[in-house]
């Protein structure tokens, strides 16, 4: 038995330690803010798919594209609609679309997918137009939106399929777009629509079933010592050609083209001569397929070389619930394209093509490079002047051998739970003089997470529920000048401020939030935005990297709550953590309370079982949070238990006991909780730390359960009572008589089980034992929970003498 005891305890501790280490890799939001109806919201009945958005700070409007509608909304309050224009498909187009097998009321509509600024008052808009894309110019003047009515072909500029990912960009008067150029979606293209139109080759080595995500422009010609050209960068995912697997594997890519590219003279006529692509590396922990890029945001710097692309990645497997954010510098991407090795295809014995690193001679000028001063000195002023040798090389080998590594060597942020979908990043100047890059990340269940990196420590300040019902954030835009975020989904658009400092009521809350936007205003005694401090910055308190609250005044003592103690009852003492990152510690008589047969500590409080007079006294609930190596301890609840002889309704104790029993049952059987609505809830959107803490409790309880089961099984083996478990095991000497008192269960304990909604009936093989029908469906089984000893007051066996 001692060996079994040791093994059981060691097993439980090892599992707890393993899950603790696992949870430490993933970021958990410090605070969760549930949906609040006061957020500015815009939607119109009958209009869906609000997925195209353009912020016009200069005009004071947010331009919004949806299904068959374009809106101009007040940038300060999107609930205020300034103007609208409706762009519906004709009945003829809808019929044509239906004849081709598409759904008339879903796909055969005009989904606005493109919204770009042309000049101060003119916009360029495109829609899917019932699988027949079309584009037009639109003006916003005198508070009115007006379509010019001069529609032009949208093929290659806008996707046919309204639900297909694509990307586009307006540079001057030239439109860069990445989409499919045919009805079936089988001919992907990266297109520049201008007087010198260019596109990619229809070759799988260029694009292989891509999923386009993001496109942006960088003026790399500025302050360029070698006279380099401006670039357009594109992020997408596609089927990998470099991996030799039995099935298709998707990888994430970054590609670039030169703004001044004009195609080749003979080779690559009207095709990109500067198209290069490389794999993006953002590895998840453990063995897994390459993650897929979902969204990208370019955080620009004055020196474009220091600009950073922030990218959201999700797993290929639908079974995984891990997301990541990786950051890639423009400099590291340039280095791969300008100096890296190429990949080339080789034929192997099975006539299969394999891609390997190219080790031969690379022609001059370098394939895929923009025209620079050195080329101009050689008489090559345009891509049309490039030699065929260079163009043939890049036509056949557009892929770089080396992958682009993240800025931090790995993911900047790792997150379990609902997948991340969209990202924007804001630069914030804090009181310490440093600039912090704050990430706002949308999720598939309608939350926006606010995260920042403090010298390598990733910290999620909060997650905010922006939609009343769970739905994915499909578009996310930021107005830094207004300090506002705009999140679009299938059903509407929500506006929220980048910070709400008034949410932090005390100095400690304000400091521990570590929000670069907020600081404690000592003169006004409130948490205020750094940009609107009433006093000089010297009178404000902010500690972002350390979370040091020593400059805060001491908090007011927590008033004690008197609780009547009736011996034999169960008492539930609620306690709310001040942070999702905090742990709850209970004290009684200056000693720490641990979960035992007497006490059960769970996420919402403390349960005291079968109270006695010795349980009277003061109980303190401390919320303890670790910030770096610093521990912050706050007493959040105090209870004074006093003995009372008056009868008290046992409902709170019974409800807590039900929750405790069901928790044990869930840990033992792996079944889902089956509690009534009044029991302590387990919300679906509970933070990862809450789920991990429950898992740790379950592991500890499981080890205790295993120990108890082993002890009872050995006792039954010795005494021969297997028939009670329905096992065909003969017994000897196990039917001896015992005094009736040893077999009599206290009636009070039986009544408590009935109060829990369970029925007690005698075991068919041995009337000295009971089985519990938890589901009330007529099936009675001896529950493994009944073998846990010392659950006084729950109506279960106390020790072996009761069997």
Q: Is 203 exposed, middle or buried (0-12, 13-18, 19+ CB in 10 A)?
A: exposed
The whole-number pLDDT of residue 627 equals 87
Higher-pLDDT residue of 400 and 603 is 400
Token pair, residue 655, equals 């409800």
Lowest mean pLDDT among 51-65, 584-598, 623-637, 662-676: 662-676
Higher-pLDDT residue of 661 and 175 is 175
Mean per-residue pLDDT, 240-247:
80
Residue 775 Rama label (left phi>0; alpha psi -120 to 50; beta): alpha
DSSP class of residue 522 equals T
What band does 13 get if pLDDT is binned at 50, 70 and 90? very low
Mean per-residue pLDDT, 755-778:
36
Residue 551: other Cβ atoms inside 10 A: 12
The percentage of residues in the chain with a pLDDT greater than 90, rounded to a whole number, is 66
Q: Which residues contact 780 (CB under 8 A, 6 or more apart)?
A: 761, 763, 771, 772, 773
The whole-number pLDDT of residue 313 equals 97
Q: Is the pLDDT of residue 517 over 80?
A: yes
What band does 714 get if pLDDT is binned at 50, 70 and 90? low
What band does 686 get if pLDDT is binned at 50, 70 and 90? very low
The whole-number pLDDT of residue 358 equals 95
Q: Are 263 and 240 in contact (CB under 8 A)?
A: no
Q: Name the pairing type of β-strands 457-465 and 32-33.
A: parallel
Q: Is the pLDDT of residue 715 over 90?
A: no
Residue 429: other Cβ atoms inside 10 A: 12
Mean per-residue pLDDT, 704-721:
51
DSSP class of residue 491 equals S
Higher-pLDDT residue of 341 and 792 is 341
The whole-number pLDDT of residue 703 equals 53
Tens digits of per-residue pLDDT, 626-681? 988 888 999 999 999 999 866 544 434 444 444 444 444 444 344 444 433 333 33
Tens digits of per-residue pLDDT, 388-401? 999 999 999 999 99
What is the residue whose two structure tokens read 């301890």?
633
Tens digits of per-residue pLDDT, 77-103? 999 999 999 999 999 999 999 999 999
Q: Is the pLDDT of residue 551 over 80?
A: yes
Mean per-residue pLDDT, 724-753:
36
Tens digits of per-residue pLDDT, 444-478? 999 999 999 998 899 999 999 999 999 999 999 99
Picking from 118, 173, 124, the residue whose alpha carbon sits closest to that of residue 150 is 124
The whole-number pLDDT of residue 350 equals 65
Name all domains of the chain by residue range, CATH numbers in brackets.
165-417 (2.130.10.10), 501-541 (3.30.1680.10), 557-648 (2.60.40.10), 690-802 (no CATH)
Give the C-alpha separation, 165 to 210, whole Å.
9
The whole-number pLDDT of residue 644 equals 83
DSSP string over 286-311: SS-PPPEEEEEEEE--SSGGG-EEEE
Give the C-alpha separation, 668 to 525, whole Å.
50
Tens digits of per-residue pLDDT, 322-359? 999 999 999 999 999 999 999 999 887 765 788 999 99
Assign 108 to helix, strand or coil: coil
- Mean pLDDT (the chain, rounded): 81
The neighbouring-strand residues paired with 617 are 641
Q: Which residues contact 688 (CB under 8 A, 6 or more apart)?
A: 23, 26, 28, 415, 416, 417
The whole-number pLDDT of residue 195 equals 87
∠ CA 50-55-58, rounded to 5°: 150
Picking from 791, 701, 802, the residue whose alpha carbon sits closest to that of residue 743 is 802
Give the C-alpha separation, 784 to 796, whole Å.
11
Q: Is the pLDDT of residue 795 over 80?
A: no
């Amino acid at each position: 038995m001692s060996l079994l005891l040791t093994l059981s305890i060691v097993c439980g501790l090892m599992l707890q330690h393993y899950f603790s280490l696992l949870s430490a890799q993933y970021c958990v939001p410090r605070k969760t803010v549930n949906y609040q109806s006061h957020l500015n919201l815009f939607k119109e009945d009958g209009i869906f798919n609000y997925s195209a958005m353009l912020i016009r700070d200069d005009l004071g409007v947010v331009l919004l594209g949806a299904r068959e509608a374009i809106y101009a909304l007040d940038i300060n309050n999107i609930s205020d609609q300034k103007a609208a224009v409706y762009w519906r498909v004709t009945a003829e187009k809808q019929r044509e679309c239906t004849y081709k097998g598409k759904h008339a009321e879903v796909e055969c509509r005009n989904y606005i997918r493109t919204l770009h600024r042309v000049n101060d008052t003119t916009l360029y808009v495109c829609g899917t137009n019932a699988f027949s894309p079309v584009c037009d110019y639109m003006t916003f003047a005198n508070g009115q939106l007006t379509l010019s009515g001069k529609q032009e072909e949208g093929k290659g500029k806008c996707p046919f399929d309204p639900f297909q990912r694509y990307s586009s960009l307006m540079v001057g008067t030239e439109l860069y777009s990445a989409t499919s150029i045919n009805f079936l979606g089988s001919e992907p293209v990266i297109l520049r629509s201008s007087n010198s139109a260019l596109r990619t080759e229809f070759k799988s080595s260029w694009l292989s079933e891509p999923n386009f995500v993001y496109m942006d422009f960088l003026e790399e010609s500025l302050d360029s010592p070698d006279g380099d050209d401006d670039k357009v960068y594109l992020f997408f995912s596609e089927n990998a050609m470099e991996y030799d697997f039995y099935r298709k594997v998707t990888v994430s890519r970054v590609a670039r083209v030169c703004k001044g590219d004009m195609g080749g003279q003979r080779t690559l006529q009207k095709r990109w001569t500067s198209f290069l692509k490389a794999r993006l590396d953002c590895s998840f922990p453990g063995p897994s397929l390459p993650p897929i890029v979902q969204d990208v945001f370019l955080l620009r710097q004055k020196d474009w070389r220091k600009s950073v692309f922030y990218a959201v990645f999700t797993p290929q497997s639908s079974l995984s619930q891990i997301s990541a954010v990786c950051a890639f510098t423009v400099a590291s991407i340039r280095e791969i394209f300008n100096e890296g090795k190429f990949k080339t295809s080789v034929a192997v014995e099975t006539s299969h093509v394999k891609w390997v690193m190219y080790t031969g001679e690379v022609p001059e000028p370098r394939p895929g490079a923009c025209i620079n001063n050195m080329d101009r000195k050689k008489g090559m002023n345009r891509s049309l002047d490039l030699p065929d040798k260079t163009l043939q090389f890049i036509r056949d080998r557009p892929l770089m051998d080396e992958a682009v590594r993240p800025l931090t060597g790995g993911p900047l942020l790792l997150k379990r739970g609902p997948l991340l979908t969209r990202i924007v990043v804001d630069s914030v100047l804090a009181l310490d003089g440093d600039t912090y890059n704050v990430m706002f990340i949308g999720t598939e269940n309608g939350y926006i997470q606010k995260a920042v990196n403090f010298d390598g420590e990733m910290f999620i300040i909060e997650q905010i529920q922006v939609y009343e019902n769970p739905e994915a954030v499909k578009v996310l835009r930021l107005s830094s000048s207004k300090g506002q975020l705009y999140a679009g989904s299938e059903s509407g658009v929500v506006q929220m401020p980048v910070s709400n400092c008034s949410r932090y009521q005390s100095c400690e809350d304000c400091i521990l939030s570590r929000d670069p936007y907020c600081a404690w205003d000592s003169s006004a005694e409130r948490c205020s935005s750094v940009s609107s401090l009433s006093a000089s910055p010297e009178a404000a308190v902010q500690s972002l990297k350390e979370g040091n609250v020593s400059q805060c005044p001491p908090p007011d003592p927590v008033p004690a709550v008197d609780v009547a103690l009736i011996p034999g009852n169960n008492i539930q003492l609620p306690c709310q953590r001040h942070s999702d990152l905090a742990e709850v510690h209970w004290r009684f008589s200056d000693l720490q309370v641990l979960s035992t047969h007497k006490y059960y500590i769970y996420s919402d409080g403390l349960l005291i079982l079968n109270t006695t007079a010795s349980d009277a006294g003061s109980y303190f609930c401390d919320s303890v949070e670790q910030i770096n190596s610093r521990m912050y301890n706050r007493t959040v609840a105090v209870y004074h238990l006093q003995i009372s002889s008056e009868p008290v309704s046992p409902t709170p104790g019974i409800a807590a006991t039900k929750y405790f029993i069901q928790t044990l049952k869930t840990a033992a059987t792996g079944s889902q909780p089956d509690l009534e609505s009044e029991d302590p809830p387990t919300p679906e959107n509970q933070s990862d730390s809450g789920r991990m803490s429950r898992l740790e409790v379950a592991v500890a309880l499981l080890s205790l359960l295993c120990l108890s089961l082993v002890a009872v099984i050995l006792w039954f083996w010795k005494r021969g009572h297997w028939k009670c478990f329905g096992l065909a095991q003969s017994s000897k000497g196990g039917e001896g008589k015992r005094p009736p008192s040893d077999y009599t269960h206290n009636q009070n304990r039986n009544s408590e089980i009935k109060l829990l909604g369970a029925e007690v009936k005698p075991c068919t093989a041995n009337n000295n034992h009971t089985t519990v029908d938890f589901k009330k469906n007529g099936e009675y089984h001896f529950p493994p929970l009944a073998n846990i000893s010392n659950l006084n007051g729950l109506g279960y066996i106390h020790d072996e003498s009761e069997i």
